[in-house]
A = this chain, B = another copy of it.
Amino acid sequence: MRTIEWKTGIVKTIDQTKLPRQTVFLELKNCNEVAEAIKNMRMRGAPLLGAAAAYGLALTAYHSTARDKEKLMEELTISAETLKKTRPTAVNLFWAIDRVMNKAEKTNENTESIVKTIIEEAQKIADEDVEMNLRMGEHGSTLIDDGDTVLTHCNAGALATVDYGTALGVIRAARKNGKRIEVIATETRPLLQGARLTAYELFRDGFPITLITDSMAGYIMSKGLINKVVVGADRIVKDAVVNKIGTFTLAVLAHEHKIPFYVAAPTSTFDINRLAKDVIVEERSMEEVVKFAGIQVAPQGVTASNPAFDLTPMKYVTAIICEAGVFSPTELHKSSRFRD
Contacts and interface: CB of A to CB of B under 8 A. Distances in A.
Sorting the interface of chain A by its residue count into under 10, 10 to 19, 20 to 34 or 35 or more gives: 35 or more
Contacts of A290: 195, 211
Interface in A176-233: 184, 186-190, 192, 195-196, 199-200, 203-204, 209-220, 222
A contact patch SS? mixed
Interface stretch (A95-103, A298-306, A322-330): A298-306
Interface of A: 20-21, 184, 186-190, 192, 195-196, 199-200, 203-204, 209-220, 222, 245-246, 248-249, 252-253, 256, 289-290, 292-299, 301-307, 310-311
A222 to B, nearest CB: 6
How many subunits of this chain does the assembly comprise?
2
A215 B301 CA distance: 22
Contacts of A211: 289-290, 298, 302-305
B248 A196 contact: no
Contacts of A289: 187, 195, 211-213
Contacts of A188: 215
A297 B219 contact: no
A304 B212 contact: yes
A274 B222 CA distance: 19
